Amino acid sequence: MLEELIRSHRAKYGVIGLGYVGLPLAVELAKAGFPTTGFEVDRSKVDAIGRRESYIADVPNAELKPLVDSGKLTATLDFDQLGAMDVISICVPTPLSKSRDPDMSYVVRATEEIAKRLRKDQLIILESTTYPGTTDELVKDAFEKSGLRCGKDFFLAFSPERVDPANVRFGVRNTPKVVGGVDARSGELATLFYAQGVDTIVPVSSARAAEMAKLLENTFRSVNIGLVNEVALMCDRLKLDVWEVIDAAATKPFGFMKFVPGPGVGGHCIPLDPFYLSWKLRSLNYKARFIELAGEVNTEMPHYVVRKITNALNDESKSVRGSRILLLGIAYKNDVNDMRESPALDIQRLLEELGANVAYSDPHVPSYHAHEGGRVYTSVPMTSEELRRADCIVVTCRHKAVDFGFVAKHARLVVDTRNAYPFNAPVTGDARIIRL
């Protein structure tokens, strides 16, 4: 019955969590013809979808509107509708606690909401990044308390999200999707379902294998970013330009993959995912030394940038305290409005703790709350007056919308953490450029 509903695109599809992962996924499966319902606790997101307005840059209004108009995509605060869904994807956050332990509260709450309404012939797919064993141990056990049996009465799988905000080449449809079932039948059904809206499916033997594959992807990136960030620190001591060194090494046509340093790492994946693996392995009495070392190096980068700023100001007989510092970019990476775990936020906080007057300019982030109920920061216009007013400009994002030539022309001092001013490119203007 469920298989036929999937093949005929009559299966009712629910997505819990309509953020950076859930909304693009819901849109793609709705475009494939499935009647899709997004489940949210945030009324503002539900209302925005009702108005045909996207709050995710990767989902244009022109793509959202026809789906809502046709009734293929709806959003609701009413979790009682979960009982009517044939397939449900869980796309909720999995942050870390202050002690870097997994915070599974969002997954637990989503699981509890489904468990209250679980019925026969439902397929549930966890997409939230987590440690190996979560789908089997946490989700399956909660569902089976109802008396229903996984693989017989209901079906359960894990399929990790692979969202890369602002990537114009790869989206939900053309990014290969890893799928692993808790049992063989669950894996088959989850593979069949996602194949209706994703070009390439990569089945693996189990949910645990899929969970591990996701953590490997981002641990690989974290370790290599940690390595290249440490190379940046080494080059600083050796009075070498790290960008020149990297570009030279990258000319090797084999055995080298280019990574670049920066002010730290941000987004939901790289700063968090490796620690899910590290935490799980600690429970098995194994210390993941590479992961933890890479995390230490990457976490140290905002402090390194602040020391760069401090030294650059000292060279001009200025102290950090009382200086006006303008951050160019508050998002976690170039050309997005996503601020999750942004290193620019750490740099801002550290500078303010030292007494600096910190402002930011970001065309993608007009304003933001420092924390819930906290101070509201507003982006300042990047005018010649603002640039001249600042004692130091810090390039924390290399947004395409920013004219860095204009910045160099009007600024006095620039600390460049993103190679906006390449080592071998001439700079027009009187600004003193300090590279990472």
In the chain, the amino acid numbered 413 is: L
DSSP state letters, 236-252: HHTT--HHHHHHHHTT-
- The set of residues, in sequence order, having a beta carbon less than 8 Å from that of 346 and lying 6+ positions away, is 264, 302
- 13 is written with which tokens? 């599809």
| Torsion (CA) 190, 194, 200, 205 in degrees, nearest 10 | -10
* CB neighbourhood size of 128 (10 A): 25
Closest CA to 395 of 319, 96, 406: 406
Q: CA-to-CA distance for 419 and 333, rounded, in angstroms?
A: 13
**Token pair listed for 224:** 């290599």
Evaluate whether 129 touches 273 at the Cβ level (below 8 Å).
Answer: yes
- Apex 164 CA angle, 161 and 170, nearest 5: 95
Nearest C-alpha neighbor of 101 from the set 286, 249, 282, 267: 282
Residues forming the active site: 269
The two tokens of residue 209 are: 């294998």
What number of helices (H) and strands (E) belong to the chain?
Answer: 15, 15
Q: Quickly list DSSP for 362-408.
A: -TT-SEEESSTTSPEEEPPP--HHHHHH-SEEEE----TTS-HHHHH
